[in-house]
Copies of this chain bind each other. A is one copy, B any other.
Amino acid sequence: MNAPATTRVTASNADRYLSRQPGQKAGLLPRQDPLRWPGRPDGPLDEAACKRFERDGFLVLPGLFSSAEVARLLDATARLQQDFHGGCDERAVLEPDSGSLRSVFQVQLLHPQLERLFRELRLLDAAQQLLGSEVYLHQTRVNYKPGFRGREFSWHSDFETWHVEDGMPAMRALSCAISLTDNMEQNGPLLLVPGSQRHFIQCAGQTPADHYRQSLRRQEYGVPDPTLITRLVSEGGLRSIIGPAGGVVLFDCNTLHGSNSNISPFARTNIFAVYNSVDNRLREPYCGLPPRPDFIANRSQTDVLREFGPA
């Protein structure tokens, strides 16, 4: 609806998901990609689980990691917290008010425990099954959401940003969020809008250069119009992802999500891995700006990801 008449289009770079283009208005476009990609019918997820993913845009897998595994991963994230608390490294993002550590990116390069985690077959096989191909890591991060000071993540579709700012052509990526602490209704759990992955939310406003420096702390561009969010929530509802540490939620790159702040004493620390299909590697950003750095949108290490073999 109300898409602008012209945009930079080449044969290899046709933009099927217009957003933040000159004169752009907010609106909804129907998804033009499969909800689940064919090609790999066999995998760890049974048909009912795959159907739920198709219907809702996400899938919750409780207890995928043992408490011993969670403890080791928490140690790894605590180590990163020590190393990156000052925020001097570009990969570290601080909370807008308190200056507490909010996120660390590209963590597969920062700790061997995490490098192994993202090659776990429990994650890798499920991602390949839903994306119908081999995959690589588009982005990884730890979101700490510390107790007392953890701030909101405002509503967004990852794909809108990855498309506009990173040049991801199709909706053929998904996030795995691995909970390292209990996710409770009081500590700002992930909120997902079931069914929202069926709509591409076009956003108004053009992207400023180096937008990511600000947007990782508090986003201002690529923010869906509130009336569209309200519409999708009224259609699909709102789901809080709550459960003990060790659970995983897989969600489509275009599922609308966000989370409230965390004034509780309990940190809500989750590790995110974004798997992208090897058939969906990044192109030039659709906004016409230079690509964002590798730590936030991997272009340099896009070989097929394989299980971490014995040393």
Contacts and interface: CB of A to CB of B under 8 A. Distances in A.
Interface string A268-303: 000000000000000000000000000000000000
Given A148-B226, A226-B148, A186 B265 contact: no
Nearest to A226: B148
A98 to B, nearest CB: 11
Nearest to A258: B263
A260 interface: yes
Contact of A264 (B151, B188, B233, B264): B233
Interface residues of A, number: 25
Nearest to A233: B265
Nearest to A155: B263
Given A185-B185, A186-B240, A238-B186, A152 B265 contact: no
- Give the one of A155, A230, A260, A264 with max B CB within 10 A: A260
A219 to B, nearest CB: 12
Contact of A261 (B233, B238, B260): B260
A96 to B, nearest CB: 9
A229 interface: yes
Number of copies: 2
A229 B261 CA distance: 17
Nearest to A149: B226
A110 interface: no
A191 interface: yes
Interface string A238-275: 10100000000000000000111111110000000000
A108 interface: no
Given A152-B261, A233-B264, A233-B265, 14 more contacts: A148-B229, A151-B261, A185-B185, A186-B238, A186-B240, A191-B264, A226-B265, A230-B265, A234-B265, A238-B264, A260-B260, A260-B262, A260-B264, A261-B261
